[in-house]
Structure 1
Amino acid sequence: MSLTQLRLLGLLRDRRPRMTELADFLGLDKSTMSGLVERAERRGLVQRGKSPQDRRAVDVFITPAGSELAERLQAEIRVALGPYIDVLSADDRDALTQLLVTAADDHRLRRGTL
């Protein structure tokens, strides 16, 4: 699974965005985003459907299989990063978390999605 596919599943865990919103957040053009979603859809990880708010728009949402895979991958990442994070003090873990949140927010600001 590519990093972009992993990010897609992570984004869909708690939201049902429109295709255009996903493309903006991931920094992809429309055709690349469509291909990414199509591949994930063929694997049974995501589905597309009409937006409940705007029937003309297409939302993307995670399937139960996609949720299971995302949870499993998140657990594997935690295990892999554990030895590096566990040696940090509580203050350093908080600082790392803040740096990552700030970096993610900066990325969204540059993309215009925050």
Structure 2
Amino acid sequence: MAFGILRENKVEGNKLAISTLFSLESTISQRKAELAAEQNGKPLWTKRLLLDNKLLCSKISEEADELCRTLEENEDKSRNASEMADVLYHTMILLANKDVKIEDVMQVLRQRFSQSGVEKKRGRISQG
């Protein structure tokens, strides 16, 4: 009985995680669509990142470095989560810029889970 409850909580947590990613993707897509509209004043941060690839790549590098530092400096879970949220946010903007959906990324992950590391390497060698 306790196992069933644990499994239900895991499913609910997974649904929340996925819906959060889809909500973020939707918000970013909306900002991207708004780029064509007239701008009054300074654009929102997301729009600035969508318009400036150099700035976006700089932020992704910066946030990834900060995430790695949380490990090196043995920071707490909340700091790890905060930095990972920054990495996800910025990389999802890059995906939106390239018209890659989070579902495309999830599909790649699902395929990787169904393959062993040896099969993946074999597939890369045969493609190259």
Question: Which entry has the higher C-alpha Rg, 1 or 2?
Answer: 2
If the TM-score is normalised by the length of the shorter chain, which range does it land in? Answer: 0.3 to 0.5
TM-score (norm 1): 0.37
TM-score (norm 2): 0.34
Report the structure, 1 or 2, having the larger helix content.
Answer: 2
